[in-house]
Structure 1
């Protein structure tokens, strides 16, 4: 099985290097095809490993070579394939393969087509390193790798100013990429502190050694390590208050958005909490904080999606909200349920983003849903895909979202955290509303795009066919919930509903379904005919508050960005120019002048040289005498 581990891990790297060979060349379709085939090879290898782990129940551990060895510190390049990592590997490579195939069509007119595939495959490789490593150091390498690749991909159109965000047109792809990168670096400092705490107290960064030693550590050490690691997860998975980068990252190409939100990057934070469950299981206070914050973010993000007009940003807010659901489950100890929702969410969220890419392709990059309408007449397959994904996101039976999201909501009830339960139920209704608000405004009603001289058309057939596995999995994934539980709980802690909750399970399900159906019905009444029933409350305080994301980006701009820029300006003039630069320039001036003076010694006259030698000898004798007297 070792060779399959290396194929799964390094096929994306080979894909990235191959595409990079043609990075400066004109668009070559075979680059995208070969890159997609290499990603498919990684998927086949991951699936083979999944079957092996499922049938044997054994963990596959591979040590490629030593990496760091200093004193007591030893970190190998080691990889582990167990129930958790192989689940992530299979999901990541499947969605990445589909996104690569999709990108062949979506990026067909882009002059940097080859470079895009190099970055995209490197992104996948970094995520595979993250999920497959058997130690925290390897995880951190992959963690930083996805950060760098996201910076490259979000800012891929660095030359292109933003034309889609009317509220803040100053944001460009480069700005968004820098925002994501910097905000994640802030959070990663917390993660590094957590890793240092664990190493300082355990003496190892290997998962098995750390998790074995955890019961012997003091509670305050465990709380500190868990909280610091979660700060890293907050940045990567865009939890409040480090959330603003996620929607701004929509400035990148749509395939990037699909990959970031479905299979890589933002799921890494949830994966970290699930992987380190022995630590978080020993810190109930930190875990409850994770659950509470996740619930708040689920509600918080859904509220902003209610009024947003940007198609991709609505889906991005949806991702933020669903990540909140995952953290709520993990914080309440239902790690396998969090992982199940992570996987189910990956399928329908990738489908939603790729469907949004089809709409963008048809609408010449227009993203304002108020300028669309009636697209189902010319984009029937995309309409079906996005409608199906929205039903899954809303949690309608028998689709995958129903099984995974309802399990999280039932967990909140089972744990007696009724405030969290109420917030999650209300959020489910809001999710259904904003999901179908975008569907109805995009595909139903009158063709508002006629006023903007846009002539929409459907995406290429091979792209639509490539999207079909996501649609199938979004429908059937929920039926494998029982088998998935049995598979991953051989590694993760088992979580079962109490008898008390079992008595109310049908009532709980009915309540959530009622909220979801109510949200869809309200969206239908308000938006099915387009903008005939327009947003009458657009001028209200609540509407403006939500449309401006609670003014948090403005707050960051006024309280952090502008003061930082002002202080930097003052320091540049007052310290850098007047002290640092003048000091460096003064040293250079002194050396220049002293060299100019000393140059006069080089006369070419032997008698002058002898005189200088005599002076030097006298200086040396005086120095020797002074030294002996002092000694």
Structure 2
């Protein structure tokens, strides 16, 4: 089985390197189809490994080579395929394969076609390194890999200042979180002497509680950066500057899910520090409603879906923080399918509307783009948590976790968020596909995407429908590695929770359909302080700009002028000037004039005699 591990891991890298050979050449369809084929190969190997692990309950380990061996430090470049990592491998490769195929149509006329596919496959390879690693050091390699690739892809259209700015923002925000992850790794090694998962998690119970709290908090700081949790969240919406299939990949299968995976993978640690876990859950609940509220009023199609991702990540962290790790992983997988479909559908709409993003300038596209409309509607129903789609099973389970853990406040927040999610999801659908036409037929000529582009979306749409049906098999499978979580509430209470959650979700959908079928809210709503607060993202970006970025820039300019130019450069220049002047003064010594040489010899003789006399007296 070792060969399947290597095939799953390295097939995307081969595709990336081959595409890189053509990166400076004109567009060739070969790079798109070859990288897609290599992703399909990786997907096949991952699904085969999933079948093998599921049927045999076998955990596979491979060591590619000894990486760092210095004294007592021994870190192999090793990988593990167990029930958790193989689920992530399958989700990553399935979504990535469909995104690659979709991208062939989406990037068809882009001059950077070849370069794009090289970056995209490298992104997937980095994510596979992250999820397949058997130690924190190799995980960090993949962790930084997805960071670099996201920077390349978000800023793909580097001629646009907004794209380069967004790429740098994402990179810098993630560096803040990555510092926390690095410090957590240092504390782990200092106290345990190893970074191997099996060794670390077998010994964490021997550490003091304060040390465990520090490790858990620092690791979660890393997760906050990657998964864009408050206050490191602003980069996620701005990352929409990249190509839309990149957004599908970042939000569904790579990058932002890495933080959730880190917490799930470190479950043995967080089980010992429930106080940190509850803090994670509380932050997750806050982020869930915080992001959903901003999605209510935003008019940028991609940003609405991005805020949805941020909100759903909050749900996942609530489950993980409360100890229901398999529930968090379950929602991660289900969310990957319907969120990727939403972004890919948004890409179809952008192409049809000449890259228009403002949903106020769309409407009535259902008749022009029926396939995209149906698929995005199905994905929106899954996101809203409507039975029997995937989101119903995973999201309701998280609400059940919160209620069962006596975290009633968190449950109430998530319950309200469920209604908001349903509303903004169908606000998006109604404004794009079923509302009044708000564009000129002379300016736009909307059309459906190519057949193979739609075909790439269909498997993901099907999974968005049926993934939740396999809940019991999923639980049985992953709880061989993760802790089991069983509800301690009555069967009737569970059904009541499901009912009231479904009521608010359906209510949110019906409200959105009713309002936007009849023209939406009045213009006076946009003049209210609440609307302005939400549309300006609670003024947090402005706060960061005015109180962090601008003061930091001014301090940097002051330090450059005062410390670097005047002090450091001035000292070096002064020393050089002094040496130069000294050279001018002593230059006559080497003039070659006999009289001057004799005078200097006599002066040196007298000086030497005086020095000798002084020494003799002393």
Work out the CA distance in 2 between the residues paired with 1:430 and 1:83: 34
2: CA distance between counterparts of 1:369 and 1:59?
48
Q: Does 1:315 align with 2:315?
A: no
- 2:244 and 2:580 mapped to 1: Cα distance? 56
Per the alignment, in what secondary structure is the counterpart of residue 526 of structure 2?
coil
**1:166 corresponds to:** none
Q: Does the CA contact (< 8 Å) of 1:260 and 1:266 recur in 2?
A: yes
Cα separation, 2, equivalents of 1:10 and 1:82: 18
The counterpart of 2:214, out of the listed 218, 224, 231, is 224
Distance 2:567 2:521 in 1: 64
Q: Give the SS at the match of 2:232.
A: coil
CA gap of 1:606–1:132, structure 2 versus 1, over 3 A, is: farther
- Could you say if the C-alpha distance between residues 290 and 611 of structure 1 is closer, same or farther in structure 2, counting changes exceeding 3 Å? farther
- Name the CA distance, whole Å, in 1 between partners of 2:466 and 2:598: 97
**More moved, 533-542 vs 222-231:** 533-542
1:578-617 alignment, distance < 5 Å: 578-590=566-578
Residues 230-245 of structure 1 aligned to structure 2 (within 5 Å): 230-245=220-235
CA distance in 1, matches of 2:128, 2:594: 75
Q: 1:587 to 1:362 in 2, by over 3 A?
A: farther
Q: Does 1:153 align with 2:139?
A: no
- The answer as to 2:476 corresponding to 1:486 is yes
Match of 1:291 among 281, 297, 302: 281
Residues 1:252 and 2:242 are matched in the alignment = yes
Separation in 2, partners of 1:488, 1:541: 47
Pairing partner for 2:562 from 550, 562, 574: 574
1:374 maps to what in 2? 364
- Equivalent residues in 2 for 1:1-150 (5 A)? 1-150=1-150
1:345-356 maps to which residues of 2 (within 5 A)? 345-356=335-346
Q: 1:515 aligns with which of 500, 504, 507?
A: 504
* Pairwise CA distance, 1:445: 2.3
Offset at 1:532?
A: 5.7
The yes-or-no answer on 1:550 pairing with 2:555 is no
CA shift, 1:452, in A, is 7.6
User: Aligned partners of 1:41, 1:56: CA distance in 2, in Å?
Assistant: 22
- Cα–Cα, structure 1 residues 198 and 238, in superposed 2: closer, same or farther, change >3 Å? same
Cα 1:357–1:580 shift into 2, 3 Å? same
TM-score by length of structure 1 reads 0.93
Cα separation, partners in 2 of 1:612 and 1:342, compared to 1, 3 Å: farther
Partner residue of 1:268 out of 258, 277, 285: 258
Following TM superposition, by how much is the alpha carbon of 1:411 offset from its aligned partner in structure 2, in angstroms? 0.7
In 2, Cα distance between equivalents of 1:213 and 1:109 = 55
**Residue 76 of structure 2: SS of its match in structure 1?**
strand
**Correspondences of 1:494-509 after superposition (within 5 Å):** 494-498=484-488, 500-509=489-498
Q: CA 1:599–1:356 in 2, change beyond 3 Å: closer, same or farther?
A: farther
Aligned to 1:332: 322
The CA distance in 1 between the partners of 2:328 and 2:63, in whole Å, is 29
The 1:594–1:464 alpha-carbon spacing in structure 2 relative to 1, beyond 3 Å, is farther
Aligned mates of 2:599, 2:177 — CA distance in 1: 63
Using the TM superposition, give the Cα deviation of residue 586 of structure 1 relative to its aligned residue in structure 2, in angstroms.
3.2
1:75 counterpart SS class: strand
Unaligned runs of 5+ residues in structure 2 are none
TM-score by length of 2: 0.95
Cα 1:528–1:2 shift into 2, 3 Å: same
Q: Which residue number in structure 1 is paired with residue 514 of structure 2?
A: 525
Distance 2:395 2:294 in 1: 20
SS of 2:382's partner is helix
Range 198-207 or range 573-582, more displaced: 573-582
CA gap 1:598/1:318 in 2 versus in 1, 3 angstroms: farther
Q: How far is 1:544 from its partner?
A: 0.8
Give SS of 2:64's match: strand
Aligned length: 616
Deviations 1:433-472 (A, max 9, x none): 0000000000112221117812211111111111111011
Cα offset for 1:598? 8.1
What is the RMSD computed on CA atoms of the aligned residues? 2.5
- Structure 1 pair 250–597 and aligned structure 2 pair: CA distance change class (3 A): farther
Residues 589, 393 of structure 1: alpha-carbon distance in 2 compared, 3 angstrom cutoff: same
Q: Which residue does 1:167 correspond to in 2? A: none
The match for 2:426 is 436
Structure 1 unaligned residues grouped into runs of 5+: 162-171
1:591 deviation in Å? 5.5
Q: By how many angstroms is 1:115 displaced?
A: 0.7
Residues 413 and 501 of structure 1 are in contact (CA less than 8 Å); yes or no, is this contact kept in structure 2?
A: no
Match of 1:168 in 2: none
Who is 1:540 aligned against? 528
Q: SS at 1:448's partner residue?
A: coil
Q: What is the CA deviation profile of residues 5-41 of structure 1, one whole-angstrom value per residue up to 9, with x for unaligned ones? A: 1111111111111111111111111011101111111
Seen in structure 2, the aligned counterparts of structure 1 residues 586 and 486 have a Cα distance that, compared at 3 Å, is same
Query: Aligned with 1:38: secondary structure?
Result: helix
Q: 1 CA distance for matches of 2:311 and 2:521?
A: 27
